[in-house]
Amino acid sequence: MDQYNGNYYERTYEEQYDAVKGLNAFITKVFGWMFLGLMLTAGIAYYVSTDINLIRAILLNPVILIVLFIVEILLVSVLSARVMKLSNGVAIGLFLAYAAVNGLTLSFIFLAYTGATISTAFATTALTFGVMCAYGYFTRADLTRFRSLLVMGLIGMLILSLVNIFLGSSSLEWIISIVGLFVFLGLTAYDMQKLKDFYYHTEGDMHLRNNLGVYGALSLYLDFINLFLILLRFFGRSRD
C-alpha cells in the first residue's frame, strides 16, 4: 500500500529489497516479544493453578482480583500513552509485567477446562490468528477504514458483557462471543497492518520504532488472548 511510504515504489529494486528485509526483521522481533509474553502468561497461569494456596489467595479473593485488574489497566494505559517517551527497556518491562499479571488472572482456565479443551482452543486460535496476520501483512486494502466499526463492536461487546453480569443469559453470552470473535479477528489483521505503518513511518528514529514494536507486540498479544478466551468458551467443556 502506498500509505506505508509515499516513495516506496520509486525506489530501486535493491532499496525495496532492503526495506522489505528490514520490515520482516522488525515484525519478527515484534512476534518474538509477543511470543515471550504469551509464554510468560501461560507459565504463571499454570503454576498458580497447581498451588492451592495461591488459588485461595488470588482466585478466591475478590479484592485481590480487582486490584490485579486495575494494575492491568494501568500498565496498558501507561504503555499506550507514554510509548513515545519511555525508554525501550521500560516499555518492554511494562509489557512483560502486564503479561505476568495477566497470567495470575487467567490461571482459572486450567481449573475450569480440561487439557484437551485448552489444547484445541489454543491450536485453533494459533491457526486463525496466523491466517489473519498473513492477511493483514499481504493485503493492499486499507484496513484503517474498518477501525471505527471494530471499535464500536468492541464497545458494544463490553457493554453487553456488563449487562449480562446481571442477566446471566446464556443466549446473550453466545451473541457476545460471536461479536467478539469477528471483532478480534478484524483487529488482528488491522494491528498486523499497523506494524507496517510503524516501520515505514519511523525511518531514522530507532527509539520510536523499537517502542512502537513493543506496543505492537502488546496489541497482537491482546488479540491472541481474547481470541483464545472466546474460542475456549466455544469449545469449553467444564471439568466434572
How far is Cα 89 from Cα 143, in angstroms, rounded to an integer? 31
pLDDT (tens digit per residue) in 188-201 = 999 999 999 888 88
pLDDT of residue 14: 59
- For residue 191, CA distances in Å to 84, 87, 160 come to 18, 22, 24
pLDDT (tens digit per residue) in 70-106 = 999 999 999 988 888 899 999 999 999 999 999 999 9
Q: Within 13 Å of residue 96, how many CA atoms lie on the same side as its CB? A: 12
Helices H, strands E: what count in the chain?
9, 0
Provide the grid cell at 92. 518492554
Helix pair 88-105, 13-49: axis angle to 10 deg: 40
Non-local (6+) Cβ contacts of 80 within 8 A are: 215
Q: How does pLDDT run along the chain (240 residues), one tens digit per residue?
A: 444 444 544 556 555 656 678 888 999 999 999 999 999 999 999 999 999 888 888 888 889 989 999 999 999 999 988 888 899 999 999 999 999 999 999 998 998 898 899 999 999 999 999 999 999 999 988 888 888 888 888 888 888 888 877 777 777 788 888 888 999 999 999 999 999 988 888 887 888 889 999 999 999 999 999 999 999 988 875 444
- 136 contacts 193 by C-beta, under 8 angstroms: yes
Stated pTM of the model = 0.88
- Distance, CA of 54 to chain centre: 26
How far is Cα 40 from Cα 59, in angstroms, rounded to an integer? 19
pLDDT of residue 11: 56
